[in-house]
Structure 1
Amino acid sequence: MGYILNENSMQKVFDIWKKDYVIYAPKRKKGEGMYSDTDCIRYEAVDTVAEVEFQRKSDYSFKEVLLPLSQTLFYFTEEEVKEAKPERKKGAVIFLRSCDLHGVKRLDQIYLENGFEDYYYKRLRENVKFVVIGCEHSYDNCFCVSMGTNIPESFDLALSFKEESFHVDSRWEELNPVLKELAGEEKKVRIPFVKENEIQVKIPENLSLDIIKSTMWEEYNSRCINCGRCNFVCPTCTCFSMQDIFYTDNGKVGERRRVHASCMVDGFTEVAGGGSYRNKSSERMRFRVLHKIYDFKKRNGYHMCVGCGRCDDVCPEYISFSNCINKLEEAMEEVNSNGGK
């Protein structure tokens, strides 16, 4: 159903939501960008519609709402273990772009449908409503069309902000009477989603594990500085480490935390006995690329990467993930001409 609301009416919707939900949306953080005197768009809980950034793509993804950067799992003493309470007691309404909504599907696959259900993810994932923000145009470094994530598959609400009004497409049945009362009548609305990006990627149909023998990966030994920014802004990177925190007043009491980690940083592949794998940047980049567009699809039938382009946006060394994908076809020709050696 379609409705057109002014800002005051949209705020009334927010006020209704806040009774049962925490509202998360991209919010402009003044002066907190990666360069001096620049802003950062990052997800936070909001109270008003005026706080939501509709015009710019967020620098960080929504995933911190469902996967906190640092999440306490349980507390322990010498004699007992106590489960940590959830980070929020209410449900959540999350504003996000189409590519990010496709990212939710990837997270669900990893944490709920991968042979087990992750308890801590599941309890934050339950009772979540998704509001998709329409994209009037493609943003810098986006290649969502190539990845098939430019059109949302499912949502509770979709909206676009134009001409000082909110055009709303609602599939949220319980909310429809409220929207109709505020709007006065149902109308035909069109939520825009991009049909083309300036950047396009092509994944070779003959892509195989022979690609690991290509020389294309070597350039990243000198270019990548292993900062891990690409992982932390990505909506589908889910790696974490476990940390036991011991309290200073009693070294036998503390808590266990799940903390975001990065396959691109030093120490990620260290194992017991002092072993360490993928010490070179080339090996780490190779692993990351193939995980996003090869082995995840082999297992689940669709690519892990959603083409949001945030990794390209944030990289201080201007390494382009989309450009890396487009090098794969030539790299496959290289390894095939060498007989796979």
Structure 2
Amino acid sequence: MGYIADREQFSDFIDKLKEDYEIWAPKKFKGGGRFSDTDAVRYAVIESPDEIELNEKSAYSWKEAVLPPSETLFYFAENHAGETEGPAKKKLVFLRSCDLAAVKRMDQIYMKNGDPDYYYERRRKDMAFALIGCSESCENGFCVSMQSNMADNYDFSVDLVDGHYRLDCKKEAWDELLKMAGAASADVVPQRVTENKVKVNIPEDLSYKVGMSSMWDQYDSRCINCGRCNLVCPTCTCFTMQDVFYDDNGKVGERRRVQASCMVDGYTDVAGGGSYRQKNGQRMRFKTLHKVLDFRERFGYQMCVGCGRCDDICPEYISFSNIINHLEDGMKEVRGND
């Protein structure tokens, strides 16, 4: 059902949800930006609905709510090991349609790609999602091209219009909370983007042959392999393991799962001293084809959701959407070589 609520009514609704849920939402951090005197919008636990940033896109994605940058899996001592406790409360996450599409991609990798990942599943199973409507396209976003601009798998949606909150609620129990808060019934449809300034075209005949194109060579010098594009991406799922020892004899410590990046040095190191994709262009090729080719061939839909965060964060101004649009030229080059 649809509702219109003022600030006080929406606040009462959120306060009721906080009794059962830890609420994660994009939040503005004053002075927390990458440059002097700039702010940053990133995900954090919020205490008041006034903290929820409903206008600006977050610099980092929602995935930190379910995949912490560093997560302790278990502790060990000389004679025993102990598993860490799961989340104390359920989580409600506010996100946009592209990030809600990314939830499907994360679930595919961690829960449907073989046996479910235990640590992901125990965080994911009690999560609910609130869709933040998009009244206009964000900078660098190309969600329309990736068909991630429209989402319906939310528990409720929220749009702030003329100082009032417009909500479309799909949970019957939460309908009652909104009625108790005094929200008025109304016909509500979440705002959604129908056109982006940035558009991408993935060639219909895209194949792994494009990996032989010279288009990747430019990134040997342009890319500095910082890995920021992976860390802000809502669909990058890679991690590494770290054992941290509390004493010199190595008998007491913990094992951590830490987010990793296919763009950084050391990612492809293997036993015996081997290391693959040492050139940055090779790494860019691997990342790109995983996002728009490999994942689709395995699961039937594209991995990239077109949020544009990789373009936003890159210190070298490398545009991922531009790379995608050059794949057609890359295919023409390799066809000519044949």
Superposition TM-score, scaled by structure 1 size = 0.98
> How far did residue 115 of structure 1 move?
1.1
How big is each residue's C-alpha offset from its partner over 1:98-135, in whole Å with a ceiling of 9 and x where there is no partner?
00000000000000000110000001001111000000
Question: Aligned runs of 1:51-62 on 2, under 5 Å?
Answer: 51-62=51-62
Question: Aligned runs of 1:107-256 on 2, under 5 Å?
Answer: 107-248=106-247, 251-256=250-255
CA contact 2:5–2:184 (8 Å) conserved in 1? no
Q: Distance in 2 between matches of 1:153 and 1:284?
A: 35
Q: Distance in 1 between matches of 2:236 and 2:184?
A: 42
CA contact 2:26–2:94 (8 Å) conserved in 1? yes
Q: Distance in 2 between matches of 1:171 and 1:5?
A: 16
* Structure 1 residues 184 and 293: alpha-carbon distance in aligned structure 2, compared to 1, 3 A threshold: closer
CA contact 1:3–1:183 (8 Å) conserved in 2? no
Report the residue type matching 1:260 in the other structure. Answer: Q
Q: Equivalent residue of 2:172, what SS?
A: coil
Q: Distance in 2 between matches of 1:96 and 1:250?
A: 45
Q: Equivalent residue of 1:242, what SS?
A: strand
> How far did residue 184 of structure 1 move?
4.8
> How far did residue 181 of structure 1 move?
3.2
Q: Equivalent residue of 1:54, what SS?
A: coil
Indicate yes or no: 2:34 matched with 1:34: yes
Q: Equivalent residue of 2:144, what SS?
A: helix
Q: Corresponding residue for 1:323?
A: 322
> How far did residue 77 of structure 1 move?
1.0
> How far did residue 41 of structure 1 move?
0.4
Q: Corresponding residue for 2:45?
A: 45
Q: Distance in 2 between matches of 1:182 and 1:273?
A: 64
Report the residue type matching 1:67 in the other structure. Answer: L
Q: Corresponding residue for 1:99?
A: 98
Q: Corresponding residue for 2:297?
A: 298
Indicate yes or no: 2:264 matched with 1:265: yes
CA contact 1:130–1:157 (8 Å) conserved in 2? yes
CA contact 1:155–1:171 (8 Å) conserved in 2? yes
CA RMSD of aligned residues (A): 0.9
Q: Distance in 2 between matches of 1:298 and 1:84?
A: 36
Structure 2: gaps spanning 5 or more residues:
none
Q: Distance in 2 between matches of 1:294 and 1:239?
A: 17
Q: Distance in 1 between matches of 2:140 and 2:266?
A: 29
Q: Distance in 1 between matches of 2:249 and 2:167?
A: 54
Q: Distance in 1 between matches of 2:245 and 2:234?
A: 31
Instruction: Report the count of equivalent residues.
Output: 338
Report the residue type matching 2:72 in the other structure. Answer: T
Q: Distance in 1 between matches of 2:247 and 2:30?
A: 36
How big is each residue's C-alpha offset from its partner over 1:134-178, in whole Å with a ceiling of 9 and x where there is no partner?
000001000000000000031100110011110000101111012
How big is each residue's C-alpha offset from its partner over 1:66-125, in whole Å with a ceiling of 9 and x where there is no partner?
001100011111111110112x31100100000000000000000000011000000100
Report the residue type matching 2:24 in the other structure. Answer: Y
How big is each residue's C-alpha offset from its partner over 1:39-72, in whole Å with a ceiling of 9 and x where there is no partner?
1101000011000111100000000000011000
Q: Distance in 1 between matches of 2:181 and 2:244?
A: 50
CA contact 2:9–2:183 (8 Å) conserved in 1? no
Q: Distance in 2 between matches of 1:153 and 1:132?
A: 9
Q: Distance in 2 between matches of 1:158 and 1:35?
A: 33
Indicate yes or no: 2:65 matched with 1:65: yes
Q: Corresponding residue for 1:13?
A: 13
Structure 1: gaps spanning 5 or more residues:
none
CA contact 2:222–2:316 (8 Å) conserved in 1? yes
Report the residue type matching 2:333 in the other structure. Answer: E
Q: Distance in 2 between matches of 1:175 and 1:157?
A: 9
CA contact 2:5–2:183 (8 Å) conserved in 1? no
Q: Distance in 2 between matches of 1:111 and 1:218?
A: 33
CA contact 2:105–2:235 (8 Å) conserved in 1? yes
Q: Equivalent residue of 1:189, what SS?
A: coil
Q: Distance in 2 between matches of 1:127 and 1:70?
A: 20
Q: Distance in 1 between matches of 2:82 and 2:251?
A: 14
Q: Equivalent residue of 1:175, what SS?
A: helix
Q: Following TM superposition, where does structure 1 have runs of at least 4 consecutive aligned residues deviating by more than 2 angstroms?
A: 180-185, 248-251
Q: Corresponding residue for 2:84?
A: 84
Q: Corresponding residue for 1:286?
A: 285
Q: Distance in 1 between matches of 2:309 and 2:184?
A: 39
Q: Equivalent residue of 2:318, what SS?
A: coil
Q: Distance in 2 between matches of 1:21 and 1:178?
A: 14
Q: Equivalent residue of 1:106, what SS?
A: helix
Q: Distance in 2 between matches of 1:217 and 1:251?
A: 43
CA contact 1:102–1:153 (8 Å) conserved in 2? no
